[in-house]
Amino acid sequence: MAPPKSVKVVELCKVAPAAGSGSGSVIEASLPLSFFDLFWLPVPPTQLLYFYRFPHSSIYFRQSLLPRIKHSLSLTLFHFYPFAGHLSWPPECPKPMIHYAQGDSVSLAIAESDGNFYHLSGNKAQDAKELHPLIPELRVSRSTVPMLALQITVFPDSGICLGVTMPHAVADARTIMNFINAWSSACRLGEISLSTEALPCYEKTVIKDPKGLEEMYLNQLTEHYCKSAGNPRLDVLDFGQPDNTVRATFELSRANIATLKAGAMALHKDKQLPPARLSTFTLLCAYIWVSLVKSGDQRVSLSFNVDCGARQKPPVPATYFGNCVGTRVVTAERADLLRHDGIVIAACLIEESINGLEDGALDGAEGWVSRLLSSKSEGKIWAAGSPRLGIYDADFGWGRPKKVELASIDKTGAIFIRESCNGDGGVEVSLALMKHEMDAFASVFVNGLEAKGSVFHRSGL
């Protein structure tokens, strides 16, 4: 294993929301957490790393680009002002709140590294800890945690890494992408350009709670945190992930995905499942799940995130600020997943669970928090992300990202799924495992895709 390379912070600055043209500054404001937000409260922070090719010196970056980055961030924070505030749950308050006060700001660290940019942004297996120095830290003070921390690390003459950390309880992937893409656009164009329809929606009443989930979750979370004597009330769960994991990324081309779909439909022809019902996400989750089991993983349950916003009545606006993501869990018999048609069995279970959302996106939501607090990630494979995130659209003016990683998967054990950086219809899958587990998984996963004729024949997957 290569020795760790140094990352040195050369500047630490604060960026506050800009004053709006003709409308003054952002006023003090508080936002309550919805039950969706409360569900994600115990989950470790979201940690994203955006890698960009940048064949210039650190001096050029600080003199030519950094002022523009800071200015565009300030412009963007005017519209996304809660990100400059704090999430807190003081003992005297019945529930957590997001609070912004005038003078609040976002921490932005500027760092330099002598590490190998192309190694760190590559797909091959590497020690998961190698990415940790690139991740900005959220400094928790008792019951208060910043909403957002940023770090830009310059690799002289090779690249830039933008690190983003935020509590999972404040935003889901859609909200994060809305913010990052608005910021990158402002940096690229030199001005913020958001139509009225694109402005963040802070109206929490758009989230309907017919089951009284907020009160239920608050009671469960309060009991959990009170039992954790001496810990801050915003502590997150330890998912029990090993410290010495490696992380790797696997790419599936559009042709690979077409082969998966064609094979699944051929094997499942007798049930006449419409091709449109087997989404890319379903196929990917099924293939990853089966590959893990066939490589020796003992977990036979799969947990995956579902977007509940479009399934609310009325639908939640696409610009809603906060979480609107739930979870589903499916379980299979290990022997069934090991069959030659195991991927079809897995896909049908996933598809059946997704189809059940049509009758109610909150079906089973009463058990979300209790299941999370009791079992954590043990016994389940957790799939996060989506091939439709638009995560590679963040062009700050020096091109699209070379690689985007969800660095926090080595804390949660999640599998990160997103579209290919090439924009060619492919998909990328990242996960963190022990070295011997990764070797076994890679063999099954890659050999299955490369198997002659079809990944579903009996001598292969």
Give the per-residue pLDDT at 141.
Answer: 74
Which one from 168, 224, 297, 410 is the annotated catalytic residue? 168
Give the per-residue pLDDT at 449.
Answer: 85
Give the per-residue pLDDT at 271.
Answer: 54
CA pair distance 185, 25, nearest whole angstrom: 22
307 among known catalytic residues: no
Residues 268, 385, 444, CA angle at the centre, nearest 5°?
Answer: 55
Which one from 209, 336, 393, 395 is the annotated catalytic residue? 395
- At the second CATH level, the architecture of 7-227 is 2-Layer Sandwich (3.30)
Q: Which amino acid is at 260?
A: L
Give the per-residue pLDDT at 93.
Answer: 82
Give the per-residue pLDDT at 19.
Answer: 82
Give the per-residue pLDDT at 374.
Answer: 82
Give the per-residue pLDDT at 458.
Answer: 38
CA pair distance 38, 237, nearest whole angstrom: 13
247 DSSP β-pair partners? 126, 432
168 among known catalytic residues: yes
Strands 97-100 and 144-146: unpaired
Per CATH, the homologous superfamily of domain 246-450 is: Chloramphenicol acetyltransferase-like domain (3.30.559.10)
For the chain, 461 residues long, the average pLDDT of each consecutive 10-residue run is: 71 91 70 96 96 96 96 96 93 88 95 97 96 93 89 98 97 96 95 86 93 95 72 78 94 91 76 64 94 94 91 90 94 94 90 80 90 74 92 96 97 95 92 97 91 44 44
Q: For residue 208, what are the contacts with CB-CB under 8 A and spacing of at least 6?
A: 312, 313
Q: For residue 260, what are the contacts with CB-CB under 8 A and spacing of at least 6?
A: 252, 283, 284, 287, 343, 455
Taking residue 27's Cβ as centre, other Cβ atoms within 10 Å add up to 9
CATH 3.30.559.10 spans which residues of the chain?
Answer: 7-227, 246-450
Cβ 79 vs Cβ 182: under 8 Å: yes
